Structure 1
Amino acid sequence: MSDEFTLLAALLLCSAALVLALRQLIRAVRRGEEELLFWGGAVYFAIFPMLVDALAFMFGDMQRISALISKESPNYWDGVTPEILFQGSLFVFAFNGIFYLGNILARKLIKVNRQKPLPAYGVASQIILLAIIIAACSVVISSGADFIENQRNSVQMDRATGLAQLFIPVGAICAFVFIRQKKYFVASLFIVPVIVVAVLSQARSIFFLIPGAILMAYVTEKERRISIASLLLTAFVFLLLSQAVKLVSNENYGFWVQDNKIEFLLVNMFRDVSIGDYYYSIDVRNRRENLTTEGASSLALVATGVIPPFAARELFDPANTVTYRIYKLRFGEFDFGSMHPTIYGFAYFDLGPFGIMLGLLLPFLMQIYRLLCGKLIFMRPVAPVSIAAFYFVAMRGSLNVAYAKLVFTGFVSFAIFFAIYYCVSRISSRN
């Protein structure tokens, strides 16, 4: 197959994938579904950059684009070929198609009432919850919140900080409830400490908890007065801000050390380097299949929350996951860092063509999570925020991390909200 025909096929596949994604994105916004983050992430992290690359190849500008990206992001893999671009486009289209069908099937087989009322928190509950969030954020900040620099310098996170991190998503969940109840000042009290930790730690996964909570609060509102176009624009701005958190929050690298700061922001905010990692994952799988994770990452994902980490340490060893294995193959010995090949690179690197079946599995896992959270009134706000955050982190390729945070956020939220709900109920019954 000639390069011209290969590129044309890739361009058509990307265009078809874009149409499907935009159609489902608008539908998810109308229905107030967390999958809006999946479809939006699909466009931003994979479909749009591949569409640009296909056109760049056809018009002879691919080398110039790769050189520009590599200049600002030295780790960007620029070895993409028309064949890899075609494979990548085909896999994205197939994965998204399977996800679309899986989402329909999951909702038909597992019924969840999404219109149940949210819990109401009295003043005492608000004070207790806010104290918990401020305490957790303070522990993280006091321990040296810059996670990237700590990793780079081999500074291990202590248990107290690791535990405190698990409490932070509860702040976003509370903000979601208070925004829905139009208690905006109270919501802001929970938003500020989470944002502070996100900026200091350069953790986009923490930062996006807040945009995720805000977006879900508005799209799940029955009497929504904001147009779909305004919501989509807001979501896009939040996505760009999440990129900026890492690009401008450290004075030692990134934005501050670039000569052309405007060009740096334009290149890195509108195109995540994870697309290069996706191309690299395809190249490795095609040439050196024995060096891939061979299903280990997907197995660890399914086992999360079912098998305790201490009972299967090798299974949950981060060094055996896709993001770290790709990093080691690319840069040699595993010392610091990870690579994020989008959710598609994760699936293809770990399972090859059969990775599209993750697109069938994920909707069922998310629907089961909604079902479990919806059983108890105090857990109902957990699913919208947690699943939205999951999709954002997962779409970039950190699927194991995203799912682990989803599961443990559920556990921690249950412990906190149950304790508060139980205590308030006991006090009310006595009075």
Structure 2
Amino acid sequence: MLKASEFKKTYRPAGTDSWDRAESVIKILQDVRKNGDAALARYTRQFDGEEASVREVPRGELEAAFDSLPDRLRGALVSAKENIEAYQRKIKWRPADPDGFYPVFHPVRRAGIYVPGGKANYPSTVLMTAIPAKVAGVDSITVATPPPGSPVTLAACFLCGVDRVFTVGGVQAIAALAYGTETVPAVDKIVGPGNAYVALAKKLVYGDVGIDSIAGPSELAIVVDAESDARWAALDLLAQAEHDENARTYLISLDPGKLEEVGRLASELAEKAPRSAIIKESLRNNHWAIFAEDRAEAVDLVNWIAPEHAAIQTADADSYAEDVTNAGALFIGGFSPEAVGDYSAGPSHVLPTGGNARFQSGLSVNDFLTANAVIRVPREDYRRFAEAGIPIAEAEELHAHAASMQARLDKGGAD
């Protein structure tokens, strides 16, 4: 158990750059950009096995995958889709009144989604990325996922109306989406999580193509007090830790006894969990138990960590909603576990990690929209803007700018 001051002195956020991998990542990006499908095939065999291949999954196969799902799972995916659509429609930017100066919103034309397929299958990633893109009105959505393509992931692609699906993973998939090959179309924006190599590849192609964020290890901070349900909190820690060995968890408690109780239960439950090895490794190396003297210190800790997920399970949980400002998503109350956010609540689970919640929000429909300002100056208002602009242009010695504005005044800009 650490005091808040001790935690702050020793804690270091997870790095997301992994520059030691940069040389190999750049090599793959350049190779795919130059050699297209031939490079894709070569790297796919190297990283996914000699029998692995890059292929476009026919729509009939996507539909068959959806039809073959067990009824309970199919119904769950449909229900989650409806929740996500409703939330994304609710928050979608709306056109402003066309009066004077106003923004006009346009959907990105072509979106690329990376869906991981390493330690687990992620149909939820399809839901949380493709649905916001659809609600935005994106013309073409392309999914890249490692071969051979998980049937449940392919089923989610069908449900969400994804236009094209390719079995290609890793850095080579990011390169293909960014630059295009003979088979894979280039896109305008790439979204979706991935491992450290994928994250670095996205960072390196940014500027040639848009991206959502640079994702690091997944994170969860839970705040508990004496009245919190210790078993619920322990299970929530395990749910986060089972993502992978690098997943980060923080247990912040206003009660030392509860801190010890949750920690003990988490250790016991980890022994029996199906993904026990991953969970125990994560908890051993990337878990922090922190004692907060009071509510103010608990709020300060959450904002200081700026975690991907923050779950408040105290008796006064509602009071944290306005004060916690640095979190990718905030889960208020005992019946709002982070796992609900991963699958079915509505907001996307593609969220900022590594402290980036200080300056970045989670993925939403609005990330698939661009805005351009419309500037329409009525003649009777022109003098006000020109007389404010001309002296600034002259101070910058951009004389043609000043002359452009002055010419309209000379022509009869209204007084």
Q: What range is the shorter-chain TM-score in?
A: under 0.3
Which protein has the bigger strand share?
Answer: 2
Bigger relative contact order, structure 1 or 2, given CA contacts below 8 A and separation 6+? 1
Larger Rg: 2
Q: TM-score, normalised by structure 1?
A: 0.23
Which protein has the bigger helix share?
Answer: 1
